[in-house]
Amino acid sequence: MADALVPTKPHIQARAHVASFAAYEALHRASLADPSGFWRRQAQRVTWFRQFDETVQQDFARAEVAWFLGGKLNASYNCVDRHLAERAEQTAIVWAKDEPGQYERISYRQLHEHVGRLANVLRRFGVRKGDRVCIYLPMMPEAVYAMLACARIGAVHSVVFAGFSADALRDRIADADCRVVLTANEGLRGGKTIPLKKTVDEAIAGLPVHTVLVAQRTATATPMQQGRDRWLADELPKQRACCPVEWMDSEDPLFVLYTSGSTGKPKGQLHTTGGYLVYASYTHELVFDWRPGDVHFCAADVGWVTGHSYIVYGPLCNGATTVLFESTPLHPDAGRYWQVVDDVQANIFYTAPTALRALLRVGDEPVKKHARTSLRVLGSVGEPINPEVWQWYHDVVGDKRCAVVDTWWQTETGGILISALPGATPCKPGSATFPLPGVRPLLVDDQGKELVGNGVSGNLCLAGSWPGQARTILNDHARFQQTYFAMYPGLYFTGDGCRRDEDGYYWITGRVDDVLNVAGHRLGTAEIESALVSHEFCAEAAVVGFPHDLKGQGIYAYVIAGKAAEGVPAAEVEAVLKQVVRKVISPIATPDRIQVVPGLPKTRSGKIMRRILRKVAEANYTELGDLSTLAEPQVVEQIVQGHKAGR
C-alpha cells in the first residue's frame, strides 16, 4: 500500500526559502555537482575576519576532513557582536523559567555584555585559548553566556547534561582535562531542585580543577570551598563588559560533546569553528524556514547537541530570538509547551517524539486550550517518530496548518542531514524524507555493497563530507577512524539502519549497533553493563533495548548475580542495581527491568547472543532462531520462564 502523502501548504510555500519540490531537487542536484562551490557560497552566511583559501580537504580513509582552510572567524562574534548594528535591542534569548508564566528577555546588546563579562571572568581565572572548560549548568541564560564566553576567548567548551551523575561528570571532566567548571548552586526543573554544586564537589574530588564558578538559581545555600569556588555574582561585577574576541582558525576546536557509542565509555566528539558554525546556521535557516523576526523555540537541553546547534549556535548566528525552556512538558500540566508558545509567540517549535508521545497520551484538550496561532513549523528530532504521532503533531498541535519536519542527524553530524523542507517536501508521516542540499546519503548492505535505486534497506552511510561533521574523538583519533570510517571504506557510517522506499523517501529504522535510544537519549549498552558489574551484586550483565510506548526504547538488563547477592531476595538485587546505574550514569539510564538469570546465551566462543535476548525482552518467544550453536542452550528456556514470570 502506498503511504499517504501530506502535501506542502500553499501559505507556507508562498514565503519559503525553497518553495517547491522541483526547486529542492534542482538545488540538491546542483549542490552535488559542485559541492565545493555550493559550500563556498554557503560559507558567506557567517562573517569571516579573514576569508578562507580553500573550501575543503577530505580523506575518509584517514578520517581527516577540514573545511574553509585558512579562514579566521569567531563564533561568539558571529552569534553576538555582528548583530549589534541592526538588532541590538531585539530579544536574543527568551528565558522561559521553570516557574509557569515567568520569562526573562535578554536583548543582543545585553547578551554582548553578559558574554563579555563572563569571558573576562574566565580569563581572570587563567582560561586561555585551547583550554577546555566544563559547563554543568541547568537551562538558565548563564549556560548560553558560558558557551559563547568560551568561544569568545578561544576556549573549548564541554557542556555536560545537568542530569548526569557525579561519576559520569567526573569521567568527562577528566577526559577533557578541564581545570575550570561552571555550575549552579541548584537546578530547578518541574518544580524539583537538582543539587548541581554538590554533584560537582563529588565529581572533582582529587581532580586538578582549580576553579568552580557558581551561578545562583535558587535561594538554597551551598558550601563553597575557599580558594576554589566563586559565586559568579561576586566575580562578574569586577570585570569589564567588553572583551576582545580571539580570531580563531576555521579548524580550531569550538567544543567537545560526549556521546555514547557501542563500546566503552562515552566519547568526546570534537567540533571545529568554521564548518560547524556555517552548518548550524545553514540548516537552521533552511529546515525551519527561519526568517528575521521569527521566534524559535527548541525545547531540547543545551546539554545535548540539539541544544548546541538549534538553541544556541544556529539561531544566534542567524540573529534569531531563541527560547531557553527550563521546565518540562508536563509542568504544571500537559499544556505547558503551548502556553509558552502563546506567551512568546513562537513561530517554530522543535522537540523529540518521546515528549509528543507523553502529550498525546494525555489527549487533545491541553493542546486546544491554547491558541498556537503563531506556529508555522513543527520539528521532530532524536528518534524515529511513529506515523500516528506525526499525524497528531500535524493535525492537533499544528491544526493542519503547520509544516512538520522530521529531522534526522547525530551528535557527530553537527546539524540536520535528512529532513523535509517546510515549503518544498510532500511528507510521508514517519519518514525523514530527503537529504538536504549538500548531503549525499548512501545505503550499503552488510558487505558494504551499495544498494542502488529505490525500494532498498540497508546501513545508512554518507558519501563525502559536509562542514558540520565532527573532526575527531578527543584524545582518540584511532577510535574515530575505526568507528565511523573503517566499516565501509570511503564512507562515513552512521550506525543507523534505513530504508529508501519506492519513491526515494528515507525511513530511519533505528540503530544497527549496540546503541540504545531511550526517550531520545543516546546510551551505550556497554556503558550500562559496566555500571551494573561495578557492584558486587552483579557478576555479569547483558543489556538490550525493547520497544517502549513512551520512551521509544526501554532498557532491559539480564544479570548474573554475584556471590555477594547470595540469599538476597531478587527484588532487592534489582532495586540495588537500578540505583547503581542511576548513580554511575544518570537516572535516564535506569533499566526498566532487571532480570536475574542463571546464565547468558553464549556461543561456544563466549560471545553473548544479544539477538536472542532482544527477542525475549520483547516477549517474542517463538522466533528465537537456531539455538544449537549455544554453549548452554537450556539457559534460554530458563530466561524465557523468568521473563514470563516478571511480566
Compare residues 145 and 282 and give the one whose CB is closer to ligand WTA: 282
The verdict on 38 binding ligand WTA (CB under 6 A) reads no
Compare residues 252 and 513 and give the one whose CB is closer to ligand WTA: 513
Among residues 222, 351, 354, 411, which is the contact residue for ligand WTA, using CB under 6 A? 411
Q: Exposed e or buried b for every residue in 319-332, given b needs 16+ CB within 10 A?
A: bbbbbbbbbbbbbe
Give, as ranges, the residues between 414 and 453 that touch ligand WTA (CB under 6 A): 432
Among residues 120, 407, 425, 595, which is the contact residue for ligand WTA, using CB under 6 A? 407
| Pattern 465-504, ligand WTA, x by CB under 6 A | -----------------------------xxx--------
The verdict on 305 binding ligand WTA (CB under 6 A) reads yes
Among residues 382, 437, 438, 524, which is the contact residue for ligand WTA, using CB under 6 A? 382
The verdict on 511 binding ligand WTA (CB under 6 A) reads yes
* C-beta atoms surrounding 537 within 10 Å: 21
- Minimal distance in Å, beta carbon 160 to ligand WTA? 14
- Minimal distance in Å, beta carbon 415 to ligand WTA? 9
The residue sitting closest to ligand WTA, measured at its beta carbon, is 411
DSSP letters for 204-249: HTTS---EEEEE--SS------TTTEEEHHHHGGGS-S--PPP-EE
Compare residues 106 and 139 and give the one whose CB is closer to ligand WTA: 139
Alpha helices in 302-422 (DSSP H): 305-307, 314-318, 336-344, 353-362, 365-368, 387-392
- Of 449, 435, 454, the C-alpha closest to 490 is 449
Q: Exposed e or buried b for every residue in 407-436, given b needs 16+ CB within 10 A?
A: bbbbbbbbbbbbbbbbbbbebbbbbbbbbb
Please state, in angstroms and as integers, the Cα–Cα distance from residue 456 to each residue in 26, 444, 452, 508, following that order.
24, 9, 8, 12
The verdict on 13 binding ligand WTA (CB under 6 A) reads no
Asked whether 129 and 246 are in contact (CB, 8 A), the reply is yes
Give, as ranges, the residues between 198 and 237 that touch ligand WTA (CB under 6 A): none
Amino acid at 137: L
The verdict on 410 binding ligand WTA (CB under 6 A) reads yes
C-alpha cell belonging to residue 418: 535528512
Count residues near ligand WTA (CB under 6 A): 22
602-605 LR contacts (CB < 8 Å, sep 24+): 602/630, 602/631, 602/632, 603/629, 603/630, 603/631, 604/629, 604/630, 604/631
Where does this chain touch ligand WTA (CB under 6 A) — which range of 57-65, 289-297, 343-351, 406-414?
406-414
Report how far residue 374's alpha carbon sits from residue 348's, in angstroms, rounded to the nearest whole number: 8
The verdict on 617 binding ligand WTA (CB under 6 A) reads no
- Minimal distance in Å, beta carbon 280 to ligand WTA? 12
The verdict on 409 binding ligand WTA (CB under 6 A) reads yes
| 3-class DSSP assignment, residue 609 | coil
- Of 325, 353, 322, the C-alpha closest to 337 is 325
The verdict on 381 binding ligand WTA (CB under 6 A) reads yes
- Minimal distance in Å, beta carbon 385 to ligand WTA? 6
Compare residues 13 and 410 and give the one whose CB is closer to ligand WTA: 410
Please state, in angstroms and as integers, the Cα–Cα distance from residue 559 to each residue in 565, 613, 617, 620, following that order.
11, 12, 13, 20
- Of 410, 196, 164, the C-alpha closest to 303 is 164
The verdict on 508 binding ligand WTA (CB under 6 A) reads yes
Where does this chain touch ligand WTA (CB under 6 A) — which range of 201-209, 287-295, 300-308, 528-536?
300-308
Compare residues 339 and 483 and give the one whose CB is closer to ligand WTA: 483
Compare residues 155 and 356 and give the one whose CB is closer to ligand WTA: 356
Report how far residue 271's alpha carbon sits from residue 257's, in angstroms, rounded to the nearest whole number: 8
The verdict on 133 binding ligand WTA (CB under 6 A) reads no
Compare residues 187 and 414 and give the one whose CB is closer to ligand WTA: 414
- Minimal distance in Å, beta carbon 411 to ligand WTA? 3
**Residues contacting 115, CB < 8 A, separation 6+:** 76, 80, 145, 148, 149, 152, 243
Interface residues toward ligand WTA, by CB under 6 A? 259, 304-306, 381-384, 406-411, 432, 494-496, 508, 511, 517, 522
